[in-house]
Amino acid sequence: DSQVPMLRALILGRLARCGDEATIKIAREKFEEHFEKKTELHPDLRLTIYGVIGRCDGESGARKLKKIFETVDFGEVERHCIIAMSQTPEEPLLKSFFKYAIEEVTMLSFLVISTFECCR
């Protein structure tokens, strides 16, 4: 069934948002492998994994997501990075991200809108 991968991402995302440590740990491991070794993430899981990093890994995670955003040349991945970076619960980091998104990066308007829509 074509809906299974999307359902899997939805369930894993909810588990991570509820603080399930096993889910968060696996997402971090997958992200680190992706970041360090350039391993591809399944497209249906990418936003979920990036979201865990944006919510749970503070400044370190934001730096890595920003690096991916600045070096990747694929709109879907750029959008996922923007959404994930806006998920941080840390207000100073969120302010820093918004400043970056609005002042330092020439973003397409839909990315800016996504930034504010997806905030926390």
Cα 93 to Cα 99: distance, rounded to the nearest angstrom:
10
Neighbour tally for 44: CB within 10 Å: 15
| pLDDT of 89 strictly over 80 | yes
Q: Are 19 and 25 in contact (CB under 8 A)?
A: no
CA atoms within 13 A on the CB side of 115: 20
Which pTM value belongs to this model?
0.86
Residues 6 or more apart in contact with residue 10 via CB below 8 angstroms = none
The pLDDT of residue 6 is 86
pLDDT per residue over 16-36, tens digit each?
Answer: 999 999 999 999 999 999 999
| pLDDT of 94 strictly over 60 | yes
pLDDT per residue over 56-86, tens digit each?
Answer: 999 999 999 999 999 998 989 998 998 999 8
The pLDDT of residue 108 is 53
CA atoms within 13 A on the CB side of 85: 31
Instruction: Tell me the pLDDT of the chain averaged across its residues.
Output: 88
